[in-house]
Structure 1
Amino acid sequence: MYNFLSTYRFANGLEVKNRIVMSPMTTMASFYNGMVTKEEIAYYALRAGGPGMIVTGVANVSESGKGFEGELSITRDEMIPGLSKLAKGIQKDGTKAILQIFHAGRKSTSKVLRGEQPVSASKIAASYPADSEVPRALTEKEILQIIEDFGEATRRAIVAGFDGVELHGANTYLLQQFYSENANQREDDWGGSREKRLKFPLAVIEKVNQVVAKYSKGPFLVGYRISPEEIETPGIRLADSLYFVDQIKDKISYLHLSMGSYQRTSLNDKTDSRSLVSQFAEKTKGVVPLIGVGSVESPADAEAALADGADFVAIGRELIREPKWVQKAAAGEPLRNTLSPYDLDELAIPVAMQEYLQTAFRSVMHFTEDGTEFDSYQNNLAPMEGFEKKL
């Protein structure tokens, strides 16, 4: 009788069958124009039915927001039929389908954008990777258009039949860039003080909520994903993120942390031994549900994350290796904790995804040919958090 198998009812009435969430993970499996492929649908469908919710990999809301090749898009109504098939594939056996939406901002390249210069809050290149391009600072008109784009993306997600959207305000993408003093050094109403740097994400949340109120015929979630800290100076510190949560927690359906280990403590303040999950839980408890995440491999890990203050537990790499993780945990059956390269096709892992799992994420994927000593993200940023090497 694991706690993570208990049901949960959101404030808007949406009920999920358990507290396990499949983390949003990049598949790189969409068509060149961002439309859904059968390969993507098969990947999600194999993992559906177990988790209470599945959050898709990111879908860009603007043509200028594409961050990498093979990325899902929700920029046009023509995307809706494919997205509807994706939603239905996830929703079998009662799993709720959440579409993650974003704008990459300066974390894109002119190559990905077909010759167009990346955009951001200010004309400042990202600190990493070292060859990051200098973006063009968005005009106010363009900022207002991107806010509208988030709203239109939400409308399309509703029409496609998703149960919610998750605003990807983590991993150094545009929503985070506007809040970060590292990326946003504007001198107008969209930058400067911490309150002004909050204006863009707050405007996006407001627009999305307006669209949900107008178009949704039933309970529809608006989640928000956040990275607790940046390691650059200047940059977002834990106190900034906790302040941010105070400003948005009554405007969203859930808060989703983005980090490689649910046990992580502050990367900037080594004197702070408290887990980040517990510190965010102090802000969210009784107000908005919190999703903890990172290196949750066993049922015991999931229970520990809940005991630390999370209301939900997101698992990612474990569901890649073991698509029936929830069902097997509930039945008390052994869980596959390693991954054979020969099983990648059987596990319906898209071909492009297979390649980066065996490169950028290899040290934490537990490939059988790599022995029994595996890496972790306890004390360093993971690749999905926007960093490319250990601290």
Structure 2
Amino acid sequence: MEQRFKSLFESITFPNGKTIKNKFVLAPLTHTISNEDGTTSEREIEFVKSRTQDVGMAITAASYINIEGKAFPGHPSISKEADLKGLKRLAQTIKQNGALAIIQIHHGGARALPKYVPNGDVKAPSDIEDYGYGQSQKHSSRAMTAEEVMQSIKDYGRATELAIRAGFDGVEIHGANHYLIHEFVSPHYNHRSDKWCKALAYPKAVVEEVLNVKTSLAPKDFVIGYRFSPEEAESPGISMELTERLIKMLIAYPLDYLHASLMDIQSTTKEGKYAGEKRITLLKRWVNHQMPLIGIGSIYSVDAALAGLNSGADLIALGRGLLLDARLVAKIKENKTEAIIRQFDSKREDKHQLPIELWHLFNKSAFPIPKKENE
């Protein structure tokens, strides 16, 4: 291995004492291949196995904590006893090659799909219309009652209990990407007038619930992470100034890492007093060495991974990069970086070892990804 690559393969110890063997993290990937009832499928096991061979930590696809938060076809569940058998296999599959197994706990909020939610009754912080996964038309959601807000918080705790029982090393609270927790933070979605109108009230309550369950049921080194979107396109929406407040609130808790959801790890702030400054660098400053910061976004090469570390990330999450090339990390370690697959090639016979559903999405450019121009 080249000397300059070695920093990527150094271990990191989380605040709770748990160690990750290298700085590569499998990002949570929306694979859409769980069973219809949310239980773990055989295809899902094989797919996860193929993408966790070399990383230090793997975060599962967003897994719903209540059927009312189901947002995708083939969306995995961590909401009921019947999920446990498959979840145990999933955790074991991730851990068999030495990766930490983290399950992402999630509620779709306004982006839950009416066809999957009981009676089509989609709930969000406030009445709003929004797009769902793969939809070209908006659907409506109604404001949650105070009782429903409290139940959703308890659902995050229940999901944490199931994760502990399933043998996961930790949970990641999904507070990003326009889903329920993000929506409570965002002035675009949250127009409430009760105590939940305050941007940080709901994420604070969820974090406290998850931590309380950990204290009661889990070993001390059970990992708790939190994913967030630092800035959103909507106006008014989440700004970097609001995210600064969120970070300062989160680092006061005994969390183990924060995970910035970015499309490009080198992206810059679009407006406000931090306009033009690199987001990941700002976030690193605000985290202030209290816990590791995961960065993600458009990382298809070793140079992009190293640049992410240099810009402020402590750990590098790979999403689209590992979808294109399951051996991306291994190729870096083996000094075969020139062999890394960095473009989607619709003519590859192995279809990049992707589930056919994901292959079709990439083939029709449903997600931004470098594509090879085939004649």
- For normalisation by structure 1, the TM-score amounts to 0.89
**Unmatched tracts of structure 1, length 5 or more:** 372-391
Decide which of 357, 367, 372 is 1:352's aligned counterpart.
Answer: 357
Residue type of the alignment partner of 1:338: Q
> C-alpha offsets along residues 181-238 of structure 1, whole Å, 9 cap, x if unaligned?
11111111111xxxx2211111110000111111113511111111111121221111
Deviation at residue 354 of structure 1 after TM alignment: 2.0
Comparing 232-241 and 129-138, the one that deviates more: 129-138
Equivalent position of 1:374 in the other structure:
none
Equivalent position of 1:330 in the other structure:
333
Deviation at residue 43 of structure 1 after TM alignment: 0.8
1:217-256 matches, within 5 Å, as 217-251=219-253, 252-256=255-259
User: Are residues 1:364 and 2:366 paired?
Assistant: no
Contact 1:169 1:224 in 2 (8 A): yes
Residue type of the alignment partner of 1:302: A
Distance of aligned partners of 1:310 and 1:95 in 2 relative to their CA distance in 1, 3 Å threshold: same
Separation in structure 1 between the aligned mates of residue 62 and residue 131 of structure 2, nearest angstrom: 22
Q: What SS does the corresponding residue of 1:364 show, helix, strand or coil?
A: coil
Deviation at residue 268 of structure 1 after TM alignment: 3.3
1:1-391 matches, within 5 Å, as 1=3, 2=5, 3-126=7-130, 131-191=137-197, 196-251=198-253, 252-269=255-272, 272-333=275-336, 334-343=339-348, 345=350, 347-361=352-366, 363-366=368-371, 368-370=372-374
> C-alpha offsets along residues 262-283 of structure 1, whole Å, 9 cap, x if unaligned?
1100133598322100000001
RMSD value over aligned CA atoms? Answer: 1.9
Residue type of the alignment partner of 1:182: H
Residue type of the alignment partner of 1:275: K
Contact 1:39 1:348 in 2 (8 A): no
Contact 1:49 1:91 in 2 (8 A): no
Contact 2:52 2:99 in 1 (8 A): yes
Separation in structure 2 between the aligned mates of residue 130 and residue 48 of structure 1, nearest angstrom: 33
Comparing 83-92 and 352-361, the one that deviates more: 352-361
Separation in structure 1 between the aligned mates of residue 289 and residue 147 of structure 2, nearest angstrom: 38
Contact 2:67 2:116 in 1 (8 A): no
Separation in structure 2 between the aligned mates of residue 49 and residue 250 of structure 1, nearest angstrom: 34
Residue type of the alignment partner of 1:230: E
Q: State the aligned residue count.
A: 366
Residue type of the alignment partner of 1:161: G
Separation in structure 2 between the aligned mates of residue 115 and residue 359 of structure 1, nearest angstrom: 32
Separation in structure 2 between the aligned mates of residue 356 and residue 114 of structure 1, nearest angstrom: 27
Separation in structure 2 between the aligned mates of residue 157 and residue 329 of structure 1, nearest angstrom: 32
Distance of aligned partners of 1:103 and 1:268 in 2 relative to their CA distance in 1, 3 Å threshold: same
Q: What SS does the corresponding residue of 1:93 show, helix, strand or coil?
A: coil
Deviation at residue 369 of structure 1 after TM alignment: 4.1
> C-alpha offsets along residues 113-170 of structure 1, whole Å, 9 cap, x if unaligned?
2532210011122388773222111111111111111001011111111111111111
Contact 1:48 1:92 in 2 (8 A): no
- For normalisation by structure 2, the TM-score amounts to 0.93
Separation in structure 2 between the aligned mates of residue 49 and residue 347 of structure 1, nearest angstrom: 16
Separation in structure 2 between the aligned mates of residue 78 and residue 233 of structure 1, nearest angstrom: 41
Residue type of the alignment partner of 1:292: G
Q: What SS does the corresponding residue of 2:210 show, helix, strand or coil?
A: helix
Distance of aligned partners of 1:233 and 1:275 in 2 relative to their CA distance in 1, 3 Å threshold: same
**Unmatched tracts of structure 2, length 5 or more:** none
Q: Percent identity?
A: 32
Contact 1:28 1:70 in 2 (8 A): yes
Contact 1:227 1:257 in 2 (8 A): yes
Separation in structure 2 between the aligned mates of residue 181 and residue 130 of structure 1, nearest angstrom: 24
Contact 1:127 1:232 in 2 (8 A): no
Distance of aligned partners of 1:91 and 1:297 in 2 relative to their CA distance in 1, 3 Å threshold: same
Comparing 267-276 and 110-119, the one that deviates more: 267-276
Distance of aligned partners of 1:131 and 1:340 in 2 relative to their CA distance in 1, 3 Å threshold: closer
Residue type of the alignment partner of 1:350: P
